[in-house]
Amino acid sequence: GITVRFVVKIPEGLAPEQAAPLLCAGVTVYSPLAHFGLKQSGLRGGILGLGGVGHMGVKVAKALGHHVTVISSSDKKKKEALEDLGADNYLVSSDTVGMQEAADSLDYIIDTVPVGHPLEPYLALLKLDGKLILMGVINTPLQFVTPMVMLGK
């Protein structure tokens, strides 16, 4: 088999319990941003779901210089997203007016929701050639209306 050995230097003053999320959830969101060429500053990103991976998604995207919109099913985490994590915008997915106003505005969405959910509302938020990055582990088949994917490329 292949043996991989590596060392990650934890900066002085950073406790191991602070470093652990960076090495797990942080890498989980950074890796697809790097893979899909979404590291340049000025991009507009969406973070769908504000659990552990979503928290790191906001922090990593902001560190890259992105305008970040958190998308959630309720406004319960609005203060946390905007004030504590530094998100630029907060969108409640059931707010049809807000969702319509945000249509075609995002370069990417990192979807961290770990249960089955409709993808069409979020596909509508993406610009042409936008990327929907699915990070939530869902144990049911994905379903979506293909013309939305085809029209958005």
On whether the CB atoms of residues 33 and 61 are closer than 8 A, the answer is: yes
Please measure the distance between the N-terminal and C-terminal CA atoms of the chain and give it in whole angstroms: 39
Q: What secondary structure letter does DSSP report for 129?
A: E
pLDDT of residue 147: 78
Domain count, the chain: 1
Q: Inform me whether the pLDDT recorded for 77 exceeds 90.
A: yes
Average pLDDT over residues 116-144: 91
Q: Which tens digits make up the pLDDT trace of 45-65? A: 999 999 989 999 999 999 999
Q: Is residue 101 part of a domain?
A: yes
Range of the domain at 73: 16-27+42-151
Q: Is residue 90 part of a domain?
A: yes
On whether the CB atoms of residues 138 and 115 are closer than 8 A, the answer is: yes
Q: Which one has a higher pLDDT value, 39 or 143?
A: 39
Q: Is residue 135 part of a domain?
A: yes
18 band by pLDDT with thresholds 50, 70 and 90: confident
Q: What is the chain's percent helix, strand, coil content, to nearest 5?
A: 35, 20, 45
Q: Which tens digits make up the pLDDT trace of 83-121? A: 999 999 999 999 999 999 999 999 999 999 999 999 999
Report the CATH number that the domain containing residue 97 is assigned in CATH.
Answer: 3.40.50.720
